[in-house]
Amino acid sequence: MELEKDLRKALVQQEFEIYYQPKWHAALNKLVGMEALLRWNHPTLGLISPTEFIPIAEETGFIVPITHWLIKEVCEQNKEWQEKKVMNIPVSINMSARVFESQTLHAKLEEALKESGLEPRYLELEITESIALNDKENTIQQLKELQALGVRISMDDFGTGYSSLGYLDEMPINILKIDQSFIQNSSKPTKQAIIGTIISMANHLNIDVVAEGVETKEQNDFLQSTGCQIMQGYYYGKPMPVHLIGDWMEQIY
Ligand code: G
Ligand code: G
Ligand code: MN
Ligand code: NA
């Protein structure tokens, strides 16, 4: 397949770009994090969405070197933001199961942190519920080793997978991101009930909650009144390239 062939060369040809999407604390009214989201500037097809190329990268295994590159870039970028006093916040990276299972993740993280000089608490890993299903004990052990490095673990797209509520208690995670499908239907009483339950459970388990896909003031206000303070979504900011972040900050602060 054509895309697969091109994907093989994309890393060397420096066709990937990292966009960053803000996470905003509604009550404190300040930036509290960024999520790194991969973009592919294809030489002839233009900008290709990760929903198109991530599945191919996962099947072929290219996702492993791509993510290693991403980790290094994000650590360096975040360190630079700190040194230039642009911002002082954790940045998260999405982890495919394939990368998590590759057994090289721990070493790559350690290396990128050391070489960049970034403190580990400024790096977060977003995993999904699917990651843990195969071998739960092993997953728990691996997550603990990553946390021992000092990075924080976030459960992405929460509520869309197969995990039970008990799973949350067993998994060593620090942050839970409520999937945007709940947020975007949060005018519906049933979705409101689910969101409320997720937030209160997370609060009891001492897990931070982030709402994903917040697009409107109504959604923001409902989430805040239900006990969720950290918002991510178009209402606050879209994923953007590094050179546009300065403008966004001037406009929002
Ligand atoms: O930014 P959107 O930005 O279009 O991302 C689409 C999907 O691709 C999301 O599910 C997001 O988590 C995923 N994605 C974006 N960047 C990465 C990445 O670097 N690694 C992995 N595994 N998934 C990513
Ligand atoms: O799977 P993950 O949660 O990592 O993917 C995030 C995806 O959601 C990215 O594609 C990102 O561009 C998209 N996204 C972020 N905020 C919003 C939003 O407010 N509305 C919609 N529709 N998509 C969003
Ligand atoms: Mn994510
Ligand atoms: Na998500």
pTM beyond 0.95, yes or no:
yes
Average pLDDT of span 216-238: 97
Helices 105-116/136-149 angle, 10° precision: 10
| Whole-angstrom distance, CA of residue 23 vs CA of residue 30 | 9
- Ligand with the closest atom to the CA of 62: 1
Q: Is the pLDDT of residue 1 over 80?
A: no
How many angstroms does the Cα of residue 132 sit away from the middle of ligand 3?
16
C-alpha closest to that of 140 among 130, 132, 148: 132
Average pLDDT of span 229-250: 96
Q: Is the pLDDT of residue 39 over 90?
A: yes
If 0-12 CB within 10 Å is exposed, 13-18 middle and 19+ buried, where does residue 135 land? exposed
Residue 169's pLDDT is what?
86
pLDDT digits (tens, 9 = 90+) for 70-101: 999 999 999 999 999 999 999 999 999 999 98
| Whole-angstrom distance, CA of residue 252 vs CA of residue 129 | 33
Ion ligand 3: residues, CB within 5 A, are: 94, 126, 156
| Percent share of the chain, pLDDT over 70 | 98
Q: Is the pLDDT of residue 15 over 90?
A: yes
Residue 147: phi and psi, rounded to 5, are -65, -35
- Ligand with the closest atom to the CA of 35: 3
Ligand 1 binding residues, C-beta < 6 A: 37-38, 49-51, 54, 70, 94, 96, 239
Query: ipTM, 2 decimals?
Result: 0.97
Residue 16's pLDDT is what?
98
pLDDT confidence band for 34 (50 / 70 / 90): very high
List the chain domain ranges: 2-252
pLDDT digits (tens, 9 = 90+) for 119-161: 999 999 999 988 866 688 999 999 999 999 999 999 999 988 7
Are residues 167 and 189 in contact, defined by beta-carbon separation less than 8 angstroms?
no
CATH class of domain segment(s) 2-252 = alpha beta
Are residues 177 and 126 in contact, defined by beta-carbon separation less than 8 angstroms?
yes
Closest approach atom of ligand 2 to CA 235: 19
Average pLDDT of every residue of the chain: 95
Residue 132's pLDDT is what?
65
Tokens linked to 114: 């050391």
Angle at 166 between CA 227 and CA 92, to 5 degrees: 60
pLDDT digits (tens, 9 = 90+) for 204-214: 999 999 999 99
pLDDT digits (tens, 9 = 90+) for 155-201: 999 988 776 777 788 899 999 999 999 999 999 999 999 999 999 99
Average pLDDT of span 37-51: 96
**184 contacts: CB under 8 Å, gap ≥ 6:** 213, 215, 219
